[in-house]
Structure 1
Amino acid sequence: MSRLPVIVGFGGYNAAGRSSFHHGFRRTILESLNSQARQETLAGLAVMMKLVEVRDGRHCDADGNPLSLAEIENRHATAILDGTLVRRIELRHLDVDAAHWQKNLSISNAQFTTLRKQLPEPLPANWIIEELEDGQVLVTLQDSCDIKVDSYRALPVKSAGQLPSGFEPGELYNSRFHPRGLQLSVVAATDALRSTGIPWTRILEEVQPDEVAVFAGSIMSQLDENGFGGMMQSRLKGGRVTAKQCPLGLNTMPADFINAYVLGSVGTTGSVTGACATFLYNLQKGIDLIVSGQARVVLVGNAEAPLTQECIDGYGAMGALATEEGLRKVGGSDEVDFRRASRPFGDNCGFTLSESAQFVVLMDDELALALGADIHGAATDVFINADGYKKSISAPGPGNYLTLAKAAAAAAQLVGIDGVRQHSFVHAHGSSTPANRITESELLDRVAAVFGIENWPITAVKAFVGHSLASASADQVIAALGSFRYGVVPGIKTIDKVADDVHQRHLSLSTRDREIAGLEVCFINSKGFGGNNATGVILAPSVVERMLRKRHGEAAFAAWQARRETTRANAQAYDEQALHGQFDILYNFGNDLIDDQQLQISEEQIQVPGFNQPLVFKKDARFSDMV
């Protein structure tokens, strides 16, 4: 009997805010919320963005005067809306109107004065040196010399999905010298774990040390000054490489940080990279370990912080990003609305980079029931296929047809073909490139026709939060959980209409939010450079509960519901705390270290210090017929 991987917690941060408890999702459907929910969402963002203070549990202005939710909305709604989702790149990342670069300059027949200690080694043959006072020298050039001079120029790309203005993850814990992607990993993993409402120590009591797994990473590594970026630039800038830049720059470091400083895990760890489908690649690993019984609890996620000049230059050189001039042409106006830069399935000109870190906590169904865990859905399958021979490494191919068709067939076996036809929807890759809107819509339309699906609801979260590369499909999964919770499929509100060349005979795309009752399945579709295609199947909590009743019986189901009340109360307490700006980050540096000399090893098991249960060696009958 295979174990069911259920989602018992989720969290993270992206351009929509904090993901746990659906706060980020609610920002994307703000227009469809009732007054109370809208004001609560705005108040939570106001605290994150440092627009509002919290004193003695009450919202206040800078002078300590209490503010009601309505007053927060009246005073700060514009700033909150302007400081979230996709928008013009802020100065905290870089000045897109004056981005630094070095201009080549040739000089000849020149003289200049400098310090002797600053002379290059070896000295160029055409330099004549004359000693001056105080360690200075006069340099005369007999010929020409090429030098580089600091200069500044505007970037053609000026928009990105950024964390809410004023919110800095590194301020939440002792993050000295941590690249931004690792800061995001720590705070996002904490958010996901806290959202479960179950202390991590309590979870560990119920599992063996090696029944925990973490799969996380970044496809672009850590490219800012504290990671590979600083290491690669140091010689050209005349600086020195630090001891931290190389190791902290590794793309596997998010998983390593979580194991070492958040969970204290000795279980399975890894980071699978699949371009823009990376989260689904890692999710597949988590699903496989739980279904097979190798792990009982798995933390899966990704962190990406690509808002650097080098990343923008790189993707921009490919012609993949939405430029200011391209948006001007698409909009037909000299005035560019950078908030509408990401335009899935509409008239568009390229995708929009973004920063994000998202994590989900998976458990097997038996453990979830025993702990009284709240269940937000289930991740049952991820299908991955390549494109075969390719002419262009970045061009789409047939692999995504295989992944989506297999996902639809698999879901039909779980919820029935009518469930797929009438109660499913798709979170499309929706990258916002002209090629994607045609090829992905054709793919979706053809698969819908084969499975008899009419008016298949399609949405694309990149319209709101941009393209976060490794975390992109995680953004989609988190948004799908929001749709299950609220019965709303977000409209693609950054476009005026669906582009004329989009295939939609069997599809339903809307620029407005849609209330759709009875959602049971979401297909998470992702297409990555190089032929990294993946489609995931996410089941709604209502479907999962039906499955749990059938497998475990009414008595066990009722007992779980009773235990779940305490879990929900604990989770709600964390949410209230976080809404007041107290995120209680899990970061354990240098404490509770395991002394490997204290390991108690026998032929049957290993007792690891600090863990309640021993690691029992599994009986392996896989090759018993051969020995």
Structure 2
Amino acid sequence: MSRLPVIVGFGGYNAAGRSSFHHGFRRTVLESLDAPARQETLAGLAVMMKLVKVVDDRYLDSDGLALSPADIESRFAKQILGSTLVRRIEKRYLDVDASHWHKNLSVDCEAPLTFTTSRKQLPEPLPANWSVEPLDGSQVRVTLHGHCEFKVDSYRPLPVKSAGQLPTGFEPGELYNAHFHPRGLQLAVLAATDALRSIGLPWQRIVDRVEPDEVAVFAGSIMSQLDENGFGGLLQSRLKGNRVSAKQLALGLNSMPADFVNAYVLGSVGSTGSVTGACATFLYNLQKAIDSIAAGRTRVALVGNSEAPITAECIEGYGAMGALATEENLRLIEGRDDVDFRRASRPFGENCGFTLAESSQFIVLMDDALALELGADVHGALPDVFINADGFKKSISAPGPGNYLTMAKAVASAVQLVGLEGVRQRSFVHAHGSSTPANRVTESELLDRVAAAFAIEDWPVTAVKAFVGHSLATASADQVISALGTFKYGILPGIKTIDRIADDVHQQRLDIVAGQDRHLDGRTLDVCFVNSKGFGGNNASGVVLSPRLVDDMLRRRYGQAAFDDYRARRELTRAAALRYEEEALKGRFDIIYNFGQDLIDDRAIELSSEQVRVPGFAQPLVFKQDTRYRDMLE
């Protein structure tokens, strides 16, 4: 009996705010929520953004005046809305109107050029056309003759000026001792904490029920950590006249999100990995977790990614490829001089490139038996992810045929679970929707053709990148968590950044949700297909099942009596999770960061021919019987 990987917790942070308890999703469909849900999400964002503070569980403004959620909405809603989702890049990241660079300056000295400096600042070796005269103390007089080359500070506007940024005022490094941590790793610590706290079960209780190697973490980033505390600083330091630190290389590695979660959040000795697949990276890591749980090797898995690419280098690199939406091209699309950067990411509309974004998202998976045993709340299930390459390519960045294979296999897989009519009537698609002219044509065509193959009519399609931008490794995690919001609230987010669908988009069998949100009004959606396309031919499509459907599957597998017992335990779990939610709404995120705590003494590990006992873990690691190759030895 194959074990079903069920989602028992999820969390993270992106341009829509905090993901747990669907707050990020709620920000994207804010106009469609009832007043209590809308005001609760706005109040939580106001606290994150330091617009209000919480004292004795009361919201207060800067003057100490008590505020209700309705007061927060009336006073701060416009500011919150303008300081979340995709928008003009803020100066806390970089000045897009005056980005620093060095300009080469060639000088021919018509007469000797003299200046005074410190001896220790002289270049080594001294250029042949420099002469140096000692002065008092450590000073020297330098005379230059003939031709000289200099690099001088210069500033230029970047053609790309928009990105999906964390809510204004929210800084992840302020929530724990994040000294020298690259921003991507700060986000990973926060997101993993959010996901774990959302479970409603103490982590130690979960670990005590499984063997030490039955916990897995699969996480990473595709761009590594490119700010000054990671690879960015490593590569820039000497060129800027600074020293390389001992941490920049190690903390820059793209596997560090997984390493940080293991070492400082979970204290895990279980399986770990960081698979990279360009923009499909989250689904690549998710596939490893699904396969490991289904095979019985893993019982609990934390899967996620963290990406912080809003740097001048990333913008320059993707911009040089012509992949990003520039200010000038957005001006041409909108036909006006005043560019609305909030509409920069435009899936399936008239568009000109994608919009970079920062995000870190994690989900917690368990096998179905453990979830029932512990009374974990189930938010959905992830039975399959399919991955295929493109074959021969003439351009590494161009789309290819591999995505036809992944989407067709995903639909066929879901048909075996819910039947053909179930897929036709109760499924929808979270498209990659990168917002490039090539993507809008190629992805819509493949979705249209897959729909035709399975006789699907009016297949609902949405794209979360319209709101939060393209977070690279984390992009498909943004999609999965948005899909969970649709299951919860019965709302399909409308692509609000476009006025209409572009003429070259294929939609004979698709119902692309453009403009306003779509209320399901009693219609049941049980399956979401999450599609992702990445540079280099990295294609992945995943199947997400609704909690309603998973409940029915669990009832059938374990029987009504066992399911009723589980539901009673689940209520306690939900109540505990809500206690975290109440604290998080007030800005008390209770970040898990255990540096140098509860270290395992290697000498205390107990080894035998049957098992290993690791200090701090209730269950031993028992060696499994492996009969896979026995027939070859007999």
TM-score surpassing 0.5?
yes
Q: Calculate the aligned-residue CA RMSD, in Å.
A: 0.7
The residue type equivalent to 2:631 in the other structure is: D
* Deviations 1:71-113 (CA, angstroms, capped at 9, x unpaired): 1011100110011000000011000011110111112222222
Residue 236 of structure 1 corresponds to 239
Q: Does 1:624 align with 2:630?
A: yes
Write the distance in 1 (CA, Å) between the matches of 2:552 and 2:19: 26
Q: Distance in 1 between matches of 2:333 and 2:257?
A: 38
Q: Distance in 1 between matches of 2:579 and 2:402?
A: 44
Q: Distance in 2 between matches of 1:572 and 1:245?
A: 39
- How do 1:92-241 and structure 2 match up within 5 A? 92-109=92-109, 110-241=113-244
The amino acid across from 1:14 in the alignment is N
For residue 185 of structure 1, report the CA deviation from its aligned partner. 0.4
Q: Distance in 2 between matches of 1:359 and 1:482?
A: 15
CA distance in 2, matches of 1:32, 1:182: 34
State the identity %: 74
| Partner SS for 1:107 | strand
- Note if 1:465 corresponds to 2:471: no
**CA offsets per residue over residues 346-403 of structure 1, 9 Å max, x none?**
0000000000000000000000000000000000000000000001111011000000
Task: Give CA-to-partner distance per residue, 1:139-176, whole Å, 9 cap, x none.
Answer: 22221111101111110000000000000111111000
User: SS of the counterpart of 1:416?
Assistant: helix
Structure 2: gaps of 5 or more residues: none
2:495 is paired with a residue of what secondary structure? coil
Q: Distance in 1 between matches of 2:207 and 2:135?
A: 71
One-letter code aligned to 1:278: T
User: Which residue, 483, 501, 516 being the options, matches 1:512?
Assistant: 516
Asked whether 1:29 is paired with 2:29, we answer: yes
Alignment of 1:439-478 (within 5 A): 439-478=442-481
When the two structures are aligned, how many residues end up with a matched partner? Answer: 627
Alpha-carbon distance in 2 for matches of 1:37, 1:292: 40
> Is the CA contact 1:194–1:574 (under 8 Å) kept in the aligned structure 2?
yes
From 587, 608, 613, the equivalent of 2:614 is 608
Following superposition, the deviation at residue 116 of structure 1 comes to 1.8
C-alpha separation between the residues in 2 aligned to 1:91 and 1:103? 22
Instruction: Name the CA distance, whole Å, in 1 between partners of 2:608 and 2:121.
Output: 63
Q: Contact (CA 8 Å) 1:108, 1:141: kept in 2 or not?
A: no
Q: Compute the displacement of 1:205 (Å).
A: 1.0
Q: Is this contact kept in 2: 1:303–1:470, CA < 8 A?
A: yes
Residue pair 1:307, 1:354 contacting (<8 A) in 2 also: yes
Spell out the pairing of 1:220-619 with structure 2 (5 A cutoff): 220-509=223-512, 510-516=514-520, 517-619=523-625
Distance in 2 between the 1:129 and 1:210 partners? 65
Name the CA distance, whole Å, in 2 between partners of 1:310 and 1:384.
Answer: 29
Q: Deviation of residue 226 (structure 1)?
A: 0.4
2:328 and 2:65 map into 1 onto residues whose CA distance is 45
Give the residue type in structure 2 aligned to 1:532.
Answer: N
Q: Distance in 2 between matches of 1:364 and 1:137?
A: 72
Using the alignment, how far apart are the partners of 2:408 and 2:120 within structure 1?
Answer: 67
Determine the C-alpha separation between the residues in 2 that align with 1:579 and 1:118.
Answer: 52
> 2:206 corresponds to which letter in structure 1?
I
SS at match of 1:349: coil
Alpha-carbon deviations, 1:314-350, whole Å to 9, x = none? 0000000000001000111001000000000000000
Q: Which amino acid aligns with 1:23?
A: H
SS at match of 1:243: coil
Structure 2 length normalisation: TM-score? Answer: 0.98
- Using the alignment, how far apart are the partners of 2:631 and 2:232 within structure 1? 53
Deviations 1:437-478 (A, max 9, x none): 000000000100110111100000000000000000000000
Q: 1:129 Cα shift? A: 1.8
Amino acid aligned to 2:548? S
Note the C-alpha offset of 1:132: 2.5
Distance in 2 (CA, whole Å) between partners of 1:471 and 1:478 is 11
Aligned equivalents of 1:304 and 1:16: distance in 2?
15
Shift of 1:496: 0.4
Mapped partners of 1:511, 1:417: distance in 2: 29
Cα offset, 1:309, TM superposition: 0.4
Deviation, structure 1 residue 137: 2.1
Q: Could you tell me whether the CA contact under 8 Å between 1:55 and 1:64 is conserved in 2?
A: no
- Return the alpha-carbon distance in structure 2 between the equivalents of residues 378 and 25 of structure 1: 18
DSSP-derived class of the 1:593 partner: coil
Higher mean Cα deviation, 130-139 or 593-602?
130-139
Deviation, 1:130, is: 2.3
Q: Secondary structure at the match of 1:195?
A: helix
Whether the 8 Å contact between 1:19 and 1:478 is mirrored in structure 2 is yes
Structure-2 separation of matches of 1:624 and 1:556: 37
| 3-state SS of 1:258 partner | helix
Shift of 1:127: 1.1
Q: Distance in 1 between matches of 2:343 and 2:133?
A: 60
One-letter amino acid of the counterpart of residue 511, structure 1: G
The DSSP-based 3-state class of the residue aligned with 1:143 is: strand
Paired residues of 1:26 and 1:41 also in contact (CA < 8 A): yes
The 2-side partners of 1:424 and 1:341 are apart by: 28
Q: Secondary structure at the match of 1:303?
A: strand
Give distance in 2, aligned partners of 1:514 and 1:163.
26
Deviations 1:2-34 (A, max 9, x none): 000000000000000000000000000001011
1:589 Cα deviation from its structure 2 partner: 0.7
Question: Does 2:50 match 1:44?
Answer: no
1:589-610 deviation line (CA, Å, top 9, x unaligned): 1110000100111111111100
- Please give the per-residue CA displacement for 1:495-531, whole angstroms capped at 9, x wherever unaligned: 0000011000000012211112200100000000000
The Cα shift of 1:208 comes to: 0.4
Structure-1 separation of matches of 2:138 and 2:38: 67
* Deviation, structure 1 residue 485: 0.4
SS at match of 2:151: strand
Could you tell me which runs of 5 or more consecutive residues in structure 1 were left unpaired when the two chains were aligned: none
CA distance in 1, matches of 2:587, 2:13: 14
2:93 partner letter: H
Q: 2:79 corresponds to which residue?
A: 79
- Name the SS for the 1:320 alignment partner: coil
Letter in 1 for 2:536: G
Matched residue SS, 1:470 = helix
Counterpart of 1:417 in 2: which secondary structure?
helix
Residue 18 of structure 2 is matched in structure 1 by: 18
The amino acid of 2:137's aligned partner reads D
One-letter amino acid of the counterpart of residue 225, structure 1: E
Q: Is the 8 A contact 1:159 1:352 kept in 2?
A: yes
